[in-house]
Amino acid sequence: MPKRGGRRKKNRTHVVENETAASSLASQAALKVPRSLVVRRGKVETEVIELVADLRKLMSPFTALNFKEDAKNRKMTLAHYAKELTGTLGVTHLVAISQNGSRLNLRLARTPAGPTLTFKLKQFSLVKQVRSVQRRPYDSPSAYSHPPIVVTNNFGDVTAAPHVKLMRITFQNMFPAVNVATVKLSNCRRVVLFNFLRRDIEPADGATIVDADEDEEVEIRHYAIKATPVGVDRKVRRIIQARIPNLSRLDDVADYITGQTTSGNPAAAATSGAMSDSEAEDETSHVVLPQKYTGRGNAKSQKSALKLVELGPRLRLKLTKVERGLASGDVMYHAYVKKTAEEVRSQRERVQKEAADKKRRREEQDANVARKTREREDKKEAKRQRKEERDEAAMEELRRGAAEEVINNEGETESSDEGSGHSSGE
């Protein structure tokens, strides 16, 4: 058969410089994205294990969803996690939950050098518990493909307490920052709310006081953003959103829109999927979309109604301690222990003295170990030399004995030869 076609030509034999630059920029941007790891330490109840899974889902997608923990991992310290995972996986925040009897503690650490915030987990609700009380639970797996928007409420301004400002900054830095000028509206699917609560305690005499120890709490809520087109009939909007009603008892789609039937049966309209009065729109949440949003009917420049649907979990936290380092270092804040400047200075001096003593003892121990190791090696070397000398002496003795034996043999041979010569002469 004759040959068909020509020789294959390579259209691309190298990487385009623009694509290389774009990939490098993308990698640099990816390195700046905060990544988290949620773990549990020690033995915990089943509900706490589910809470860890819910928190990992809340912090999606830049978190380890399927991180496996065995008995060895649950005993690892936060410093060990940071040492092993910060450089290789780029983990920037560690969230560790532990249980001590009936008390739950949550530690939030910034890797690799801190600070570390310790919270008392006072109350929590799982995702399944939040969904069980909702009439229409929101279920959209694609909403977790983008990070949520962080909202911090009631944390105050620059005049707030240092530990309150530190909490706000830490919560914000756990998630990627949102650039309002370049963000895509379709990527804004979820909201995480950090609400700082301050309760006023009423004493018996009627005066209002504020207990700084037990008053400050942080409430965490997780919502999904749901947009619904407005300006059209509710039944038409339902068809636009691909929620096809039951039209089996209707003769025409117009009967569904008008709520009437040609057969005169009003029950048929009720069973055709008519919307109830409880599904009325909230007129105060109407906005004009600057971009196309997820969901049918939410086009650009279209008026839509925004609604928040809670996803869970819910948490109520109480900040108890702030440490300067990674689960170590100076205590910058404590909710229950108050110390004066002199007490803090004396404690720091005591800690530094203990650290210096520990370092000195470690150096002495290392020196003793090195000395004993050197003595052991010298002893082995001396023993080896003595053995070599004994072996050499034994070999020398064998050589001397062999030489004497050779000389004796030669002497006997000569004497035998002389004796044989005399006998032949005779």
219 and 97 part of one domain: yes
Q: Model-level pTM?
A: 0.67
Q: What is the pLDDT of residue 114?
A: 79
In a domain, 325, yes or no: yes
pLDDT attached to residue 125: 93
| Residues 164 and 182 grouped into a single domain | yes
Residue at a domain's end among 311, 338, 365: 338
Q: Is residue 141 domain-resident?
A: yes
Q: Give pLDDT, residue 267.
A: 45
Q: How many domains does the chain have?
A: 2
Q: What is the pLDDT of residue 198?
A: 82
Q: What is the dihedral of CA 148, 153, 157, 158, to 10 degrees?
A: -50
Rg over CA atoms, the chain:
41
The pLDDT of residue 284? 45
Last residue of a domain, one of 297, 319, 338: 338
Same domain, 217 and 130: yes
- The dihedral region occupied by 231, where left means phi > 0, alpha psi between -120 and 50, and beta the remainder, is left
pLDDT for res 276:
40
Which is nearest to 247 in space by CA: 231, 268, 267?
A: 268
- Say yes or no: 314 and 396 in one domain: no
Can you give the pLDDT at residue 85? 75
| Residue ranges of the chain whose pLDDT lies below 50 | 21-26, 210, 213, 262-264, 266-284, 423-424, 426
What's residue 275's pLDDT?
41
| 257 lies in some domain | no
Q: Give the pLDDT of residue 298.
A: 72
315/360 same-domain check: no
Backbone angles phi, psi at 272, to 5 degrees: -80, 0
Asked whether residue 290 is domain-assigned, the answer is yes
- pLDDT at position 90 is 82
Whether residues 391 and 286 share a domain: the answer is no
> Do 77 and 88 belong to one domain?
yes
Neighbouring CB atoms inside 10 A of 37's CB total 22
What single string gives the DSSP state of each residue in 326-391? SS-S-EEEESS----HHHHHHHHHHHHHHHHHHHHHHHHHHHHHHHHHHHHHHHHHHHHHHHHHHH
Q: Which of helix, strand or coil describes residue 323?
A: strand
403 shares a domain with 288: no
Same domain, 362 and 347: yes
pLDDT at residue 175 in the model: 92
Does one domain contain both 287 and 367? no
In a domain, 161, yes or no: yes
